[in-house]
Amino acid sequence: MYNVQIVTGNIRGAGTNSKVHMVMHGSKGVKNSGKVFLEGGKFERGLTDIFNVEIAALLSPLSRVTIGHDNGGVSSGWYCERVVVFCPFTGIEQTFPCCKWLDEDEGDGLIERELYEMVSLRQKRQKKHPWSLWIWTSDLPGAGTDATVFFQIYGEKGKSDEMKLDNKTDNFEQGQLDKFIVRPAA
């Protein structure tokens, strides 16, 4: 799983209605993700679209990314400012500047570009793997609660801050299973 941020430039006409895709290339240059369509993004002027991209191979650190679109839609031209890719498994965040049009009618007319990392912006973030926490409330009469429920994680290096468990309006009802995705703070 990779966290991908696509930043659209803040200039007139920068957004696109086209279908945007990317390819992530591994550092050995042999492996790549194949074409991944980034569905659900708005790709509007000055905004950042965030995607969780699942691919089978571990490619991090990446050597480059290829970004492009299908040139469809009414406003197909697009000004991509940059692509940021974070791999939670390695903790590496890489920035791939673009700062160019992907538009047949602007600049060099390309609608697909290879982007190379600006190594000076590379960050090694602490690996934070989300936890899946399942809590069963007993089916005994009166077992549920409407109280706010918190929990802490204790380990060899100390303990976490208290974290509130809340994923919907009626958690912790009698005989109910509640599921939470928890991302402990660094």
Q: Which amino acid is at 136?
A: W
Domain count of the chain? 2
Q: Which of 99, 124, 149 is the last residue of a domain?
A: 124
Reply yes or no on whether the pLDDT at 185 is more than 70: no
The token pair at 123 is 């960050």
What are 26-54's pLDDT values in tens digits?
886 567 888 899 988 889 999 999 998 98
Mean pLDDT of 155-184: 79
Residues 18 and 62 both lie in one domain: yes
**CA–CA gap between residue 185 and residue 67 (Å, rounded):** 32
Residues 23 and 39 both lie in one domain: yes
pLDDT at position 127: 58
Say what percent of the chain tops pLDDT 70. Answer: 92
CATH number for the domain including 101?
A: 2.60.60.20
Contact assessment for residue 93 and residue 84, using Cβ atoms and an 8 Å cutoff: yes
Which range among 86-100, 116-130, 136-150 shows the weakest confidence by mean pLDDT? Answer: 116-130
Residues 93 and 145 both lie in one domain: no
The dihedral built from the CA positions of residue 13, 19, 24 and 29, taken in this order, carries a sign that is negative
Query: What is the pTM (predicted TM-score) of this model?
Result: 0.67
**Residue of higher predicted confidence among 94 and 161:** 94
Residues 56 and 35 both lie in one domain: yes
Query: Which residues span the domain enclosing 80?
Result: 2-124
Confidence of residue 6 (pLDDT cuts 50, 70, 90): very high
Residues 48 and 101 both lie in one domain: yes
Average pLDDT, the chain: 87
Residues 18 and 95 both lie in one domain: yes
Contact assessment for residue 163 and residue 152, using Cβ atoms and an 8 Å cutoff: yes
Reply yes or no on whether the pLDDT at 128 is more than 70: no
Q: What is the dihedral of CA 104, 105, 107, 113, to 10 degrees?
A: -20
**CA–CA gap between residue 125 and residue 37 (Å, rounded):** 26
Q: Which of 83, 100, 124 is the last residue of a domain?
A: 124
Mean pLDDT of 66-94: 92
Reply yes or no on whether the pLDDT at 91 is more than 90: no
